[in-house]
Amino acid sequence: MQKGILEAQRQEQEAIDRYDLFVWLCQAVRQCLESWTSEYTLTSSQHARETLETAIDLMKELGSIKINAYAQDLKKHEEELLAPLAWLEQQLSSWRDVEQDRAFALEMESSYIPTGQT
Q: Give me the pLDDT at residue 37, please.
A: 85
Tell me the pTM: 0.74
* Phi/psi of residue 36, nearest 5 degrees: -120, 145
Residue 104's pLDDT band (cuts 50, 70, 90): low
Spatial CA neighbour of 21 closest among 69, 81, 63, 49: 63
Instruction: Report which of residues 39 and 106 the model is more confident about.
Output: 39
pLDDT (0 to 100) of residue 112: 58
Residues 37 and 81: beta-carbon distance below 8 Å: no
Would the pLDDT of 114 be above 80? no
Whether the predicted pLDDT of 110 surpasses 70: no
pLDDT for position 102:
57
Q: Please write the tens of the pLDDT for every residue from 3-39.
A: 888 988 999 999 999 999 999 999 999 999 999 888 8
Q: Is 42 strand, coil or helix?
A: strand
